[in-house]
Amino acid sequence: MIQAFVALGSNLGEPITQLQQALQALASCPQVGKLRCSGLVRSPPWDGSAQPDYYNAVAELSWQGDEPLDLLQAIQQIETAAGRKRHAEHRNAARTLDLDLLWFGGIRRDGPRLQLPHPRMLDRAFVMRPLAELAPTLVMADG
């Protein structure tokens, strides 16, 4: 099993309920073993736009398999089931659910569909605070 971290965020509809449902959906994936979640962090929109505050958390899970794209596909299916609509022209639009694969067993990847570790996570307190709650000694590949 590979240790992975997934960021969860929501600011439309019932954000806390949607995050709980996303965690339940993650837990029901056959490849997921152990799953635990940080506490919630409430934060304003990343880009300062006029939209509701986000509720954010990070989930730590063990994943059976060595291909991070499989986990990415699973979390994108969970987003779609929650009503997530992707807008290429509005990357930071409000959303019912946003799941980002942050880290996958220390693997480094720079592909068109997936970059690992997540390239912007170190700049985002709403990701790093809950991640530090779960894994205070986690070291990124570059130290």
Q: What angle do CA 117, 44, 97 make, to 5 degrees?
A: 60
The yes-or-no answer on residue 110 being catalytic is no
Active-site option among 47, 91, 100, 123 = 100
Residue from 36, 95, 108, 124 carrying the catalytic annotation: 95
124 is an active site residue: no
Catalytic entry in 84, 113, 124, 129? 84
Which of 98, 108, 113, 123 is catalytic? The answer is 98
- The string of DSSP letters for 18-62 reads HHHHHHHHHHHSTTEEEEEE---EEE--TT--SSPPEEEEEEEEE
For this structure, is 66 an active site residue?
no
Catalytic residue list contains 120: no
User: Would you name the residues annotated as active-site residues?
Assistant: 84, 95, 98, 100
